[in-house]
Amino acid sequence: MKQEHELLRRYLDGELPREALPVELRAEAARFERLFAALDPEDVRLRTTLRADVMRQIRQERRTAWRAFQWLVAPRPIRVSPLAAALSAAAVLALVLFTRAAPDRMPGLPGADRVDTRFIYLAPQASRVAVTGDFVNWDPDGVPLERRSDGVWVAELRLEPGLHHYVFVIDGTEWRPDPNAASHVDDGFGRRNSVLLIAPPVRHAS
Amino acid sequence: MRASSLSRWACLIVLACAGALPLASQQRLQQRLDAATLAALRPVFELARRDSVPVTALEDKALEGAAKRIPAERIVAAVQQLARDLRDARVLLRGARPSGAIADGEVLAAADAPRRGVPTAEIAALAANVPPALSLLVPLTVLGDLVQRGVPAAEARQVIQELLAAGISPEQLAEIPARVDVALRVGAQPREAFFNALPIPVRPPVPQQRPPGPPSESSVRIGPPTP
């Protein structure tokens, strides 16, 4: 069947004379010839204005894009009601506060990967002990520790896994590294920071 | 709602978002640093951002200086030094791990390690030998912890590699320095404390043998010949 179609195609393309076709295909070939003859070449002639029409359409589209660009860059007064202005200002404020209080910088916020970390400092004579470090933007006030028996100060924070540098602030004035820290590092200002490593939780590939 | 009203709201929201994001980063610095210090630091941050150096660490250092009431010029100098250290650390890690992303935490750990006595050659060797799928944060920090405790850097590095190859988790690795501390408190030598603190037994690495041949200059005995 395929071969017969191939013969027909070659005949219609002018590669084969009609005599080369098998007898059973000649009727089919004649039917195609009649069909082609019935086609009026005038019907498929492109109209003379086609080119001009296409170019006009393209120019029109370009003009639309240019108009959109002009709309974007043209300065225009925006009329806003007082309520809309107040709502917009509130939205901006909320966004600023939200980004400032980014979860990776706030201790104590719940987070899936955060790790409970306990800070302990022995200072029986101190009236206030706080911990500060990169996890609280080095806030000079830090996070206050709670005084327990025998002058032991304790705080528990939920911290992100990673490498943290921190120190204790005693009575708001003395900055001291953690004597129980795993290690210490030069802070670049001639003092030492304590180093806290929180290993990231292991995620097993499924 | 009319189209003009919608577009008005869209404009306002876009303006709010575009303004708020960089503002949040700048705000935490502006609140704590004076304008002159901030102006001196801005090019350092810009350069760091261009070199993919963790800018947050630099901002933190500036905030730390402000919190500790350090003079402005010393804050700027410390931030510049940290930027150099972080850039060097990033180059070192990239040289050891030519493909794949390098996390900010890894750069920080690699910058911390030399300040804790780890030779850069050991940092590079660890980075090159730890499988790329594993973060370098914990291995580099533990290496620094161990070197600070007196464990030889090359030996600590080789053992860390072996432990990771054996499937030890970062949490288990991170516990080793505290165990070393316990042994040190009861009088163990650092090396002995280290090998006793390992979660699985690891054979101490064999020191590299010198290839056979004439003695090197450093091993030539100087002084009168032995009888």
Render each residue's pLDDT in chain B as its tens digit; 227 residues: 455 565 666 656 655 555 554 555 677 788 889 999 999 999 999 999 999 999 999 999 999 999 999 999 999 999 999 999 999 999 999 999 998 889 999 999 999 999 999 999 999 999 999 988 889 999 999 999 999 999 999 999 999 999 999 999 998 999 999 999 999 999 999 999 999 999 998 887 766 555 554 444 333 333 333 33
* B78 vs A: CB within 8 A: yes
B12: distance to nearest CA of chain A, Å?
Answer: 7
A155 SS3 class: strand
- Cα–Cα distances (Å) from B218 to B142, B152, B153, B211, B221, in that order, read 32, 21, 22, 14, 8
State mean pLDDT over A122-148: 94
Cβ–Cβ pairs < 8 A, chains A and B = 113
* B117 vs A: CB within 8 A: no
The answer to whether the CB atoms of B135 and A200 lie below 8 A apart is yes
Crossing angle of helices B55-67/B35-50, nearest 10°? Answer: 160
The answer to whether the CB atoms of A191 and B68 lie below 8 A apart is yes
Burial of A80 (0-12, 13-18, 19+ CB in 10 A): middle
The residues near B87 (Cβ < 8 Å, ≥ 6 apart) are B48, B51, B53
Q: Which of B13, B20, B137 sits opposite A162 (nearest CB)?
A: B137
CA A146/CA A52 separation, integer angstroms: 84
Confidence of residue A64 (pLDDT cuts 50, 70, 90): confident
* B74 vs A: CB within 8 A: yes
pTM above 0.80, yes or no: no
Interface test mutation site (partner A, options B8, B21, B68, B173, max chain A beta carbons within 10 A)? B68
The CA-based diameter of chain B, rounded to the nearest angstrom, is 108
* B137 vs A: CB within 8 A: yes
Sign of the Cα pseudo-torsion (A54, A60, A64, A66, in order): positive
pLDDT of residue B33: 92
Bridge partners (DSSP) of residue A164 are: A196
Q: Note which residues in 41-60 of chain B have CB less than 8 A from chain A.
A: 57, 60
Q: Which of A95, A191, A199 sits opposite B174 (nearest CB)?
A: A199
pLDDT of residue B19: 53
pLDDT of residue A122: 94
- CA angle centred on B58, ends B96 and A134, rounded to 5°: 100
The answer to whether the CB atoms of B61 and A78 lie below 8 A apart is no
The answer to whether the CB atoms of B20 and A95 lie below 8 A apart is yes
Residues of B in contact with A183 (CB under 8 A): 116, 144-145, 148, 177
Mean pLDDT, chain A, integer? 82
Residues of B in contact with A201 (CB under 8 A): 171
The answer to whether the CB atoms of A95 and B17 lie below 8 A apart is yes
* B28 vs A: CB within 8 A: yes
The answer to whether the CB atoms of B174 and A197 lie below 8 A apart is yes
